[in-house]
Amino acid sequence: MGSRYDLSAFILLFIGLWSYFLHKKSLISIFVLFVFFSLQFIIFIFFYIPPYYRFISGLVWLGGLVFLLLGSKNIHYSQDLLYKYIIGVLCFTSFYIFFEGMVMDVDRPQAYFYEPSFAGLCLYSGAAGVIIILILCKSSKIVKLQLLIIFGILVSAAFLTFSMHFLTFIFSILIFFILLFPYIFTFEFKKILIAFVIIFLIFLVGSTLVLSSHFQSRTDISDPTNLSLLAWLQGYDQMVASIIKSPVFGLGLGSTGNFIFKSEYSDILYSVGKADLTLNDAFSLAFRLIIEIGLLFFLCFVSYLLKRILDFKNFISFKNKHKLDISKSTVFNFVFSLTIILGCFLKEPLYPQSFLYLGIFLFSSIPFLKVGNHIN
């Protein structure tokens, strides 16, 4: 029906299913999945808003994300190997973007991503992971220099995409800086120097972006004229309308864009022939989740995110207390995945996107469990 599905989502969902049948099944996970799917069928029958194919698509792909959240801890893989793969792919992406922007003269290069915004989100997420590694983890001078170079490459390439996910990048960094304040802000000359270099690069990129007409047109809520901003504001109005109609359980999977709501931004989009622009996905994963599964499940997911963030903080605290080395791969994978999820909440609403599936898989599967006197 014209939907777009990423191959990586199929692969990760298949791996999750395969692992689930190989390992001992959790009765709690089975119960949660049963309740979730049963409730979605009841809501679909009760409201009967979305076409059947959109409901089935939502059931498969959002259900797949829920499945990964519940069962990905049964999937065993090398954190270090995956960290190296992700860094390698992001660097390759960056060089491809440099080629598109500087040689092919593409205004907003996107490499092999579907949109420049997607490329920007993944690159900024990688840069956020590298920052936290540099500040938290002990490394040799050569490794620190390599990481600084990688950070510069990722941020520079992300800048060329002119992605609004620079805001996601800043928000993610602030979360970790506040959360890990005692472990980050120590009076070590090396850390102060690294922090100064990073802050300078972020300021350089940020000031250039903020002053650009591209950025300003997408943040001027007082007098919106940009189509993307109008679509995002329309998505917000659609979310508010859904809360009024069904605040607790939402209007059902696939209901986004299939019920009547009022929005002045819809009128503006209609007047320029863009009435259907992102109407069926609300331009934001947070908006879409609230519309389709309601505030209850959305807040449950946010609570799970907060729990995992606190688990990460306790992991770092334990390592520092016992003077144990902090794994670079664990730090990077967690920061990378959280930034991806935050970016999707902001403005990437499609369920079967490769980076969302990877982000959810990593975020839920990274182990922070205490074993004896150590933490994995």
The predicted structure's pLDDT at residue 74:
80
* Residue 44 CB neighbour total at 10 angstroms: 21
pLDDT of residue 194: 67
Can you tell me whether residue 53 is helix, strand or coil? helix
Reduce the DSSP state of residue 249 to 3 states and report it: coil
* pLDDT the model gives residue 24: 64
Q: Please, is 330 exposed, middle or buried when counting C-beta atoms within 10 Å of its C-beta (0-12, 13-18, 19+)?
A: buried
The 3-state DSSP composition of the chain as helix, strand, coil percent (nearest 5) reads 70, 0, 30
Q: Residue 371: what pLDDT?
A: 43
Tokens for 33?
């999945």
Q: What confidence score (pLDDT) does residue 280 get?
A: 93
pLDDT at 189: 58
Instruction: Report pLDDT for 368.
Output: 85
Angle at 247 between CA 228 and CA 344, to 5 degrees: 35
Phi and psi based region of residue 111 (left: phi greater than 0; alpha: psi -120 to 50; beta: remaining): left
Cβ–Cβ contacts within 10 Å for residue 165, how many? 29
Chain-centroid distance of CA 100 in Å reads 25
Query: 310: which 2 tokens?
Result: 């606190």
Written as tens digits, the pLDDT of the chain (376 aa) is: 667 889 999 999 998 888 777 776 677 778 888 999 999 999 999 999 999 999 999 999 999 999 899 888 788 889 999 999 999 999 999 999 999 999 999 999 999 999 999 999 999 999 999 999 988 888 888 998 999 999 999 999 999 999 999 999 999 998 998 888 777 666 565 666 666 777 777 777 777 777 777 777 787 787 788 899 999 999 999 999 999 999 999 999 999 999 999 999 999 999 999 988 899 999 999 999 999 999 999 999 999 999 999 999 999 988 888 888 889 999 999 999 999 999 999 999 999 999 999 999 999 999 886 544 444 5
DSSP character string of 252-280 = -TT-TTSS----HHHHHHHHTT-TTTTTT
How far is Cα 108 from Cα 185, in angstroms, rounded to an integer? 36
